[in-house]
């Protein structure tokens, strides 16, 4: 019997509105949160500013038959799910594609990046 309790990286699966995509690699995510910037003056550090930052889910896919590249450019208000080998499930709802879809025809890969204000992670 195999014990996977120490597995922390490796394979992943990605879906957009339930459509499984041929995932090549580079899965990444950022839960919706804030960004902070230090505010300094000539005399000292005065504090910081805080702004909302959208959540993000991104990955690299393979251009294969049945994958509509042109339609991906128009993906908005979609649900994106990333299932990682460590058992985490990252889900974003109401997301939009922010990357221009450019296919590298040498290896048939392209990157997708989605942003939105609702990215959550199950651990």
Q: Is 42 helix (H, G, I), strand (E, B) or coil?
A: coil
Q: Rounded to whole angstroms, how far apart are CA atoms 47 and 63? A: 47
Both tokens of residue 26? 């580079």
pTM for the full predicted model: 0.86
Q: What is the pLDDT of residues 85-106, one digit of tens each?
A: 888 999 999 999 998 899 999 9
Q: What is the pLDDT of residues 48-97, one digit of tens each?
A: 999 999 999 999 999 987 768 888 989 999 999 999 988 899 999 999 99
The predicted structure's pLDDT at residue 32 = 79
Q: Is 23 helix (H, G, I), strand (E, B) or coil?
A: strand
DSSP-derived secondary structure letter, 73? T
- Percent of the chain surpassing pLDDT 70: 98
E strands along the chain, which residues? 12-16, 19-21, 23-30, 33-40, 45-53, 55-62, 78-84, 89-97, 109-116, 119-122
The predicted structure's pLDDT at residue 52 = 95
The predicted structure's pLDDT at residue 58 = 97
Give the helix/strand (H/E) hosting 69: helix 69-72
**Selected residue with higher pLDDT from 48 and 10:** 48
Q: 9: pLDDT confidence band, cut at 50, 70 and 90? A: confident
**Selected residue with higher pLDDT from 69 and 45:** 45
One-character DSSP codes across 3-18: --TT--SS-EEEEETT
The predicted structure's pLDDT at residue 1 = 64
Mean pLDDT along residues 13-37: 94
Tell which phi-psi region holds residue 41, choosing left (phi > 0), alpha (psi between -120 and 50) or beta.
beta
């Amino acid at each position: 019997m195999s014990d996977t309790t120490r597995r922390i990286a490796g394979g992943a699966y990605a879906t957009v509105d339930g459509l499984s995509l041929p995932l090549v690699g580079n899965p990444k995510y950022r839960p919706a949160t804030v960004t902070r910037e230090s505010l300094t003056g000539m005399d000292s550090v005065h504090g910081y500013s805080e702004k909302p930052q959208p959540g993000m889910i991104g990955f690299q896919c393979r251009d294969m038959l049945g994958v509509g590249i042109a339609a991906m450019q128009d993906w908005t208000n979609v649900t994106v799910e990333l299932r990682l080998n460590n058992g985490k499930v990252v889900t974003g709802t109401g997301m939009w594609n922010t990357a221009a879809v450019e296919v590298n025809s040498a290896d048939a890969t392209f990157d997708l990046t989605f942003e939105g204000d609702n990215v959550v992670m199950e651990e």
